[in-house]
Structure 1
Amino acid sequence: MNMSSELPNRDECTYTKCYCEENVWKLCKYIEDSGKIELLSNSYAIFISNHYRTIPLWKQKASKRSDTMVMWDYHVILFVENESLIYDLDTMLGFPCSLEEYATEAFNFNMKLKPQFERLLRVVPATEFLKTFASDRTHMLTEDGEWTSPPPDYPPISSSSSTNNLQSFISMTKSSEQFGTVQTLEEFINKYMLKG
């Protein structure tokens, strides 16, 4: 069964620029609320970052040009394992697109990067992400209390145990894997890329 057809089109998704973690949370919530249990159990929120908070991605709408990269401090995408599909609401690529295409076009996987630009991934099962993630959006406030980018028009996401644990999800320290597991990009690609 093609479960990807059960997800909304890009323009039907809840989306706020610069709030990728909440966009993916809302997509996971859509899957849960729709009763698509099998799809939810095959889905993962992927936090991409590193210890330097400098991760390059290509084919991002923020770059305006498809051949230039964007340097994010972190980015979040949805991965559906059994179909090897990536859902990225900020990409110029398809929605969804194959992991193979995303690895080649967005990660530019074969390009040799300096250590400070190597991508690490925190792979969090969607069910865990929905239960545990929380953000009060303070990371988007300047010292003067101004928004660096306007927040979503719905209330901040919280869990039963936290109002703000976003930094724990962005952290790529393997020794403190409170949420999901941390992998190198190479480990992730080798584990999940569909062969043949």
Structure 2
Amino acid sequence: MKSSGTRSTSSGQPSTTATGGRAVGVKSAKPAAVQAPLTAVKVVRVDLPEGYRPSRSEEYMNPFHLEYFRQKLINWRAELVEESKQTIDNLREEVRDVGDEAERATRETENSLELRTRDRYRKLINKIEKAIKRVDEGEYGYCEETGEEIGLERLEARPIATLCLDAQERYEHRQKMMGD
């Protein structure tokens, strides 16, 4: 779904992006907190036909695409929340009094692994919630860096993707250069 594609620039004049009228983050001299917000987008909610899968032959990020990915994200979040609850329950039910030193060390290692997994889930759930928000705002499926389409195949594989493949590769290259 496309927004109006206008945003106030630092001079107060509206600017239209070069992405077919879809608004993207326009860089200006102002800090992000001061920039004018994107024009509100009304996202149309639809009922998906049973077994629906997005197709390249359809308009990119039409209401069916948005609802498909919204449901996919919501279901993924629910699975992660349930797994996190099970982790907490497992940790609570575990007997703390273990006489054997080796068994206690094993349990502590297992608990540490469970807690790290739970922390990863928490971070992933946060990313999923941000993706759902982008769906609801009509900004889902477009690269945060370039404004280009991320692509159905990439979103199907990684529904929380915020960068198109080229932008992701540039990001990873920069990260590698900083780490070396």
Report the TM range for the smaller structure's normalisation: under 0.3
Name which one, 1 or 2, has greater alpha-carbon Rg.
2
Greater percentage in strand: 1
